[in-house]
A and B are shown apart, each in its own frame.
Chain A
Amino acid sequence: MTSSNDYLIQFEHVFFAYPGGGSVIHDFSAGVRRGEFIALIGPNGSGKSTLAGLAAGALRPAAGWVKVDGMDTADPSVIGAIRRRVGLVLQNPDNQLVAARVEEDVAFGPENLNLPSPEVRRRVEYAIAAVGLDRLRDRPPHLLSGGEKQRLAIAGLLALEPSCLVLDEPTSMLDPRGRREVLGVLKNLVAKGTTVLQVTHHMGEAAEAGRVWVLAEGKLQADASPGTVFSRPELLQRLGLALPPAAELAGCLAARDINVPAGIVNLEDMVHFLCRALK
């Protein structure tokens, strides 16, 4: 076993069931390393959201354990410390915003930590800048676009200065522009050292991550780079998942007996390959 220090979040033989329902997570073991960008994909009802809740300590496993920075999420005495390390962003941005002004909303978390005003101010400035909402700081949330609202929700958690963000389908209610905005913010955060675990059903987004987890029926079906996962169309097809368009094109070309290198999952790689092949 790897030393627990490598992992920021670690799942070990985790089981979970909702009251009155069947098993949702079934013997799940995996780990999120510091600084990683993981995309979690899977069909509806596969347990993706549940896993996100477990990772952030919002849910406790029925059996097995989840550790954040070595702290067991089932231990009530460390839940505060876990909340400060892992932030969970929910699907609907509207329901996560608490204040009638952008700036006040970002301040909510640090205020709850009872930090002195100058420190609250510093964190608000940091978080607002990190998601690019500087110019909208005085707006009421209901006058923001979907993408702006979700960026604000992210800022609200960043103000707690977590090591890791877990996002439960943060872009599923957004238009393409909003989705691009949020993905841009996430990539930026990863570049600056924040660990990100993102649940998504948008394969183009998953292709941008460093690693992909495929979940079905509460079990981990694949854990590999996007290039590897998306070159296995049989698995994805069986689970009712689509391919990112670049991978789909690569598949169509391969079916026409054209030699396409493995691991092409995004536009950049495809353009690169075609330019070389056609010149």
Chain B
Amino acid sequence: MPCIKIENLTHTYFPGTPLETAALQDISLTVDQGETLALAGATGSGKSTLVRHLNGLLAPTAGRVRILDGDVADKKFRRQLWRRVGLVFQFPERQIFSATVHEDIAFGPRNTGLAGQALSERVSQAAAAVGLPEDMLRTDPAELSGGMLRRAAIAGVLAMHPDILILDEPGAGLEPRARESILQRIKELQVSQGTTVILITHQLDDAALYADRLALLKKGRLLAVGPTAEILSRCDLLDEAGLEPPFTVELTRRLAAAGINLPKTPLNPAEAARLLAVML
């Protein structure tokens, strides 16, 4: 069942001025309830502009965006959309402002009207969901490591219990283990709560591991959308989008050029080893 329906969405910045730029052009895309969609594209491809239509920050210049049971053209619906669609910005720890981690996570749910015991429970739940230890909730955010700070910032959005969760490069700038752990937690959330997840990334290895479907954007246009494995095995599309194929996809391409054809394109080293072991 689709929970997001984007039809011919166009967005133009500064219309009617010399600075006019078409950020999105004629995008049509649906996102199903409970799936993880990865949105990939080079810097400036319009990924951020696109998702800002999904939580009410931007209104379409043309086209229609339907989310859950409403239309974002409706100003009243758009104003309230942040309660149901959580958007985690890139480097979200830069938005932390409270004296304790608890206070910061509580900011969003408090704005939805939650208070007291119910609020505290929400905060604890959200912290647990991202793997932030309970005792860290009382500390000053300035004392946390980069990875923990990122978790706290993500928990601040999770605590609003969004139906749709959008994350802009949640692993950017983190060491490999922290990055993996955060993405794993989000995957678990998607599976256990049925949350719809949109993952913005230019790291296609992440998309390969966590996304059901992959959409490629290029200069404000939708280049392709489909099952992750299918899109990732199309090196021509990835090249056109200005993205770097995952290691195993690039390896498959290089082997094919040398006359060695794998039965299918593996998406991670373990799968590649399985396919290669048969041939060796």
* Direct A–B contact in complex, judged by CB atoms less than 8 Å apart: yes
Residues of A within 8 A of B (CB): 43-45, 145-146, 169, 172-173, 175-178, 180, 201, 203-204, 240-242, 245-246, 248-249, 251-253, 255-256, 258, 267, 270-271, 274-275, 277-279
Cβ of B136 < 8 Å from any Cβ of A?
no
Q: Is the CB of B172 within 8 A of A176?
A: no
Chain A residues in 8 Å Cβ range of B251:
249, 267, 270-271, 274
Cβ of B242 < 8 Å from any Cβ of A?
yes
Cβ of B42 < 8 Å from any Cβ of A?
yes
Q: Complex Cα distance A241/B174, Å?
A: 11
- Name the residue on A nearest B259 (C-beta): A279
Q: Is the CB of B260 within 8 A of A274?
A: yes
Residues of B within 8 A of A (CB): 42-44, 91, 145-147, 172-178, 180, 202-203, 205, 242-244, 246-248, 250-251, 254-255, 258, 260, 269-270, 272-274, 276-277, 279-280
Q: Is the CB of A44 within 8 A of B146?
A: yes
**Can you show 10 pairs from A to B with CB atoms below 8 A apart?**
A145-B43, A173-B172, A176-B243, A177-B42, A201-B176, A240-B177, A248-B269, A249-B272, A267-B247, A267-B250
- Name the residue on A nearest B202 (C-beta): A175
| Pairs A-B, 3 closest by C-beta atoms | A252-B273, A245-B247, A242-B176
Q: Which of A146, A203, A249, A277 interacts with B273 by CB under 8 Å?
A: A249
Chain A residues in 8 Å Cβ range of B173:
169, 172-173
Q: Is the CB of B202 within 8 A of A258?
A: no
Say whether, besides A44-B145, A274-B255, A253 and B247 are in contact (CB < 8 Å). no
Identify 20 new A-B residue pairs, CB closer than 8 A, beyond the known A175-B42, A178-B43. Answer: A43-B177, A44-B147, A44-B174, A176-B203, A177-B42, A177-B43, A201-B175, A240-B175, A240-B177, A242-B177, A245-B246, A249-B273, A253-B276, A253-B277, A253-B280, A256-B273, A258-B277, A271-B251, A275-B260, A277-B280
Chain A residues in 8 Å Cβ range of B258:
271, 275
Residue from the set B242, B243, B258 with the largest chain A CB neighbour count within 10 Å: B258
Chain B residues in 8 Å Cβ range of A180:
244
Chain A residues in 8 Å Cβ range of B270:
252
Say whether, besides A177-B42, A242-B176, A256-B277, A278 and B250 are in contact (CB < 8 Å). no
Q: Is the CB of A246 within 8 A of B247?
A: yes
Chain A residues in 8 Å Cβ range of B246:
245
Q: Is the CB of A44 within 8 A of B175?
A: yes
Say whether, besides A145-B43, A240-B177, A241-B177, A252 and B146 are in contact (CB < 8 Å). no
Q: Complex Cα distance A241/B179, Å?
A: 11
Chain B residues in 8 Å Cβ range of A248:
269
- Name the residue on A nearest B91 (C-beta): A173
- Name the residue on A nearest B266 (C-beta): A249
Q: Is the CB of A271 within 8 A of B243?
A: no
Chain A residues in 8 Å Cβ range of B273:
249, 252-253, 255-256
Chain B residues in 8 Å Cβ range of A256:
273-274, 277
Chain B residues in 8 Å Cβ range of A253:
273, 276-277, 280
Q: Complex Cα distance A169/B175, Å?
A: 11
Q: Is the CB of B247 within 8 A of A241?
A: no
- Name the residue on B nearest A278 (C-beta): B260
Chain B residues in 8 Å Cβ range of A245:
205, 246-248, 269
Chain B residues in 8 Å Cβ range of A201:
174-176
Q: Complex Cα distance A107/B243, Å?
A: 33
Chain B residues in 8 Å Cβ range of A44:
145-147, 174-175, 178
Chain A residues in 8 Å Cβ range of B269:
245, 248-249, 251-252
- Name the residue on B nearest A270 (C-beta): B251
Chain B residues in 8 Å Cβ range of A204:
247
A23 to chain B, nearest CB (A): 17
Q: Is the CB of A146 within 8 A of B43?
A: yes
Q: Complex Cα distance A69/B131, Å?
A: 46
Q: Complex Cα distance A173/B146, Å?
A: 13
Q: Complex Cα distance A97/B245, Å?
A: 32
Chain A residues in 8 Å Cβ range of B91:
173
Q: Complex Cα distance A255/B277, Å?
A: 10
- Name the residue on A nearest B270 (C-beta): A252
